[in-house]
Structure 1
Amino acid sequence: MEKSVARVLYGQGTSLNLTSRKIKAVPECVFRIKKLSVLQLNNNSISALPAELRSLRRLAELHLGNNALKELPAVLGHLESLKKLYLFSNQITVVAPEVMGGLHNLVVLNLNHNQIQRLPPEIRSLHGLQHLSLLDNQLEEVPAELGQLTSLTELNLTSNNLSGLPQQLYQCEELTKLYLARNKLTSLPEGIWALRKLQVLDVAGNKLFMFPVRFHLLPLRELHCEGNRFVRCEPMSAVQDAEVLSLKELVARFVLLEDRIRSSLVHRMLPHYPALTALAAAGSCCELCLNPFLTTWLECVHFISPKKDMKMTSVRVVPVRALLCSYKCLNTQGHSYYGIATR
């Protein structure tokens, strides 16, 4: 080991590999290599990192996979040049907020195979993060602040205990790969179609009932969704009573419809009434007649055949949620939307 350090130290090297050396602590001689940019310490028994590590101000890549760390050492928050951090296969249960605050230049963070139950809101500090992986942890929720990682291109949350995702996740518009397999998800938040660059989605082994509205607009090349509880297409006749809309819903539909007409008085006056403006922002649109509605709708489903060039497993059609404004629309002929029946 000392020969490896000496070779780098006196040869003016910038990379040091101490993988699988059975060491329990980072050797002190390492801290003398001021130009060190890559430090590999995988497959050892390291349980803590000394404060002296902060002297490696040029360190850009740190490998600590398969060690004995139980938390993210505070000293990591002082490595401002760090771009890649690998901490897979440790015993980490806590991600300290103060560590997140100092890793402004981090691009890759790998925390696979640990015991992490939650991420701190301070994760929003990782503005440049592109790859975040927490495969095989114990996450029960994802903070809304994750949506502020607008540079994120790949997110892996496979094999956790997630029952839901924050709507803010869809602010990560650069996402191309999203892995959510083997969780406890019963639904995906509406708005996933905003991920215009998403090419790979893995939601296999969850409890999904159907996909969100406009899901089929995603430019997916791979979709893995086997092992869910998708609604099945088994048409049956049913008698529907005509819905009775509340006064609020009737007024809301009128306002929303008038707001589409730029010359209308409602459209011109709406900015002067914040409450009505907020109401208009909360409106949705009927999939069939395209008329607006506020809070009263029919939850329906239509079955979409994936694109021919999309890589899938055994699933041939996927159920996608659709909202219709009334039974009148549902009862029209020539569409492929179905009401949902429970048994």
Structure 2
Amino acid sequence: RPSAVAMGTVRCVPGAAMAELRALRLRRGPGALRALRGLSLRDNGLCRLPAELASLRGLTELNLGNNIFEEVPEQLKYLSSLQKLHLFGNKITTISPAIFDGLEKLTLLNLNNNRLKYLPPEIHRLENLEYMSLNNNQIGSIPKELCSLEKLSELHLSYNCLIMVPEEIGYMTNLRMLCLSRNQIEVLPDGLCKLRKLRILDVAGNRIRVFFLCRVIRLNEMAARFILRELNEKNSVLQTAVKQNPEVGNLLSEKRVCAVCGQAFLTTRLECVCFMHKMKISRNIHLLPVRKLICSFQCFNFGDHGFFGVAES
């Protein structure tokens, strides 16, 4: 509809998408669509885009959902102002790494219901991405490069073929929602413990037999560690809540401190010893074992701390 150009948005009815674009350019001249900010071409039979689309440098939102694309259209790399891109419900199997070069401003990417089996490492170039949804694909692994997207707050990867989550997930410090339901994940990485802003973790329908976070951590231990961290940062709301619940305060007073990272925890995770040198107790004893507590295997395996695990015979 030509009149829609004046409002900055064009929505095309099924079957008329490319014809509409070309007709507008013929009637209004080459610059007819350059002021366009939003374009919806969803629910058509599109398998490719007209070359004219590359000239829409002011476009901020593009909806190509429910078409029949088999790959992400190459013209998109020229849309340097694009912030929201919807490609759900297509037949996309691959993403060309070159696409990411021109989408530096992208904040939302929706690729639900496609046929993707992997993500190219170059996805880290989408450094302003805040929301990413890849539900209902065939993705078998998360590239560690994806974990460098520090602005990402929501990541949806439900109904895929994931068998693991990379340890580097801990770098996504702004992540608030992580949905990994209906995959084949058996163990969760310790890196999840670093996601202090995480509010929703959905791992339903996987193969997880025990909830692995810093070894085996129960939900009450997870809650205790979160509360202890927040109290350490003077969270006034939690400080008041703890004062109003003496039983909780008494429980938290039994906290321990990890000898490696210095973080507080409630129950003992790993019991270790270190040997104090230059302490001569008798003629035959030169080293004294000192008990130390460590909160996770991640800390135990970090660096050369000189602690030795204690095993029962």
Do these two structures clear the TM 0.5 threshold for a shared fold by scoring above it?
yes
> Contact 1:54 / 1:78 at 8 angstroms: preserved in 2?
yes
Question: How much does 1:158 deviate?
Answer: 0.2
Question: Aligned residue for 1:14?
Answer: 8
How many Å apart are 1:177 and its aligned residue? 0.5
> In structure 2, what is the Cα distance between the partners aligned to 1:204 and 1:30?
48
SS at match of 1:39: strand
Kindly provide the amino acid, as one letter, of the partner of residue 326 in structure 1. V
Unaligned runs of 5+ in 1: 221-251, 259-263, 266-283, 296-323, 332-343
Q: Percent identity?
A: 35
The size of the alignment, in residue pairs, is 236
Residue pair 1:13, 1:35 contacting (<8 A) in 2 also? no
Structure 1 CA distance for aligned equivalents of residues 168 and 24 of structure 2: 42
Q: Which residue of 2 aligns with 1:67?
A: 67
- Closer, same or farther in 2 for the Cα pair 1:293/1:30, shift >3 Å? same
CA distance in 2, matches of 1:170, 1:110: 23
Query: TM-score, with normalisation over the residues of structure 1?
Result: 0.63
Tell me the equivalent position of 1:99. 99
> Structure 1's 93 and 285: CA in aligned 2 closer, same or farther, altered over 3 A?
farther
8 Å contact kept, 1:157–1:179 = yes
Alpha-carbon distance change, 112 to 253 in structure 1, aligned in 2, over 3 angstroms: same
Runs of 4+ in structure 1 off by over 6 angstroms are none
Contact 1:34 1:58 in 2 (8 A): yes
Distance 1:71 1:192, change over 3 A: same
Residues 9-158 of structure 1: pairs in structure 2 closer than 5 A:
9=5, 12-18=6-12, 20-23=13-16, 25=18, 27-30=21-24, 32-158=32-158
User: Which structure 2 residue ranges, 5 or more long, are not aligned?
Assistant: 26-31, 228-271, 279-291, 303-307
Deviation at 1:8, TM superposition (A): 2.7
1: distance between equivalents of 2:122 and 2:170? 18
Question: Does structure 2 conserve the Cα–Cα contact (< 8 Å) formed by 1:164 and 1:188?
Answer: yes
SS state of the match for residue 147, structure 2?
helix
Aligned match for 2:309, one of 303, 325, 332 = 325
Given that 1:59 and 1:79 are in contact with CA atoms closer than 8 Å, whether structure 2 keeps it comes out as yes
What one-letter code is carried by the residue in structure 2 that aligns with 1:172? M
How many Å apart are 1:189 and its aligned residue? 1.1
How far apart, CA to CA, are the structure 1 residues paired with 2:36 and 2:111? 23
8 Å CA contact 2:84, 2:109 repeated in 1: yes
SS class of match (1:184): coil
Shift of 1:186: 0.6
Conservation of the 8 A alpha-carbon contact between 1:25 and 1:45: no
* Aligned partners of 2:273 and 2:310 also within 8 Å: no
Give the deviation of 1:287 after TM superposition. 4.4
2:294 equivalent in structure 1: 286
Question: 1:53 aligns to what SS in structure 2?
Answer: helix
Q: Which amino acid aligns with 1:25?
A: M
Shift of 1:17: 1.4
Residue pairs, 1:102-251, within 5 angstroms: 102-211=102-211, 212-213=213-214, 216-217=222-223
SS of residue matched to 1:191: helix
